[in-house]
Structure 1
């Protein structure tokens, strides 16, 4: 992955994470009891924006690419069924 794209993804993640902390009402409600999410909302938004910026129109291709190139940045990458929810 390109260094500039890594920097952009990191900056976007930090900005979204800060905004979600500043405006917690924007986060969808989650049940108090149940399975804890393995990926944060900011990480998922960053993945979606990177998919659009890189021009991937297929979620399957995008997730294959992300598993190959983005594993250091995102320790958990959802499967295709989870990604489209």
Structure 2
């Protein structure tokens, strides 16, 4: 993975996480009782934006790429 891609992912995550903290109305509603998601809303949006920016149209190819190159950035 290139250093620029890691920087992009970090910058996107920080910006999206800050936005979701300031605007909690943008978060999806979740019931109080239930399981805790493994991925945060900010992580999910970051991965979706990166998929679009990098031009992946195949979900399977994106998941393989993200698993191989971005795994260390996300849980």
TM-score by length of 1: 0.83
Residues 38-65 of structure 1 show CA distances to partners (whole Å, capped at 9, x for unaligned) of 1001100110111111111000110011
Aligned pairs (5 A) from 1:35-50: 35-50=35-50
Question: What do you get for the CA RMSD once the two structures are aligned?
Answer: 0.8
Distance 1:19 1:69 in 2: 25
Which sections of structure 1, spanning at least 5 residues, go unmatched?
76-85
Moved over 4 A (4+): none
Distance 1:9 1:50 in 2: 7
- Tell me, what secondary structure is at the counterpart of 2:73? coil
Which sections of structure 2, spanning at least 5 residues, go unmatched?
none
Larger helix proportion, structure 1 or 2? Answer: 2
Matched residues, number: 75
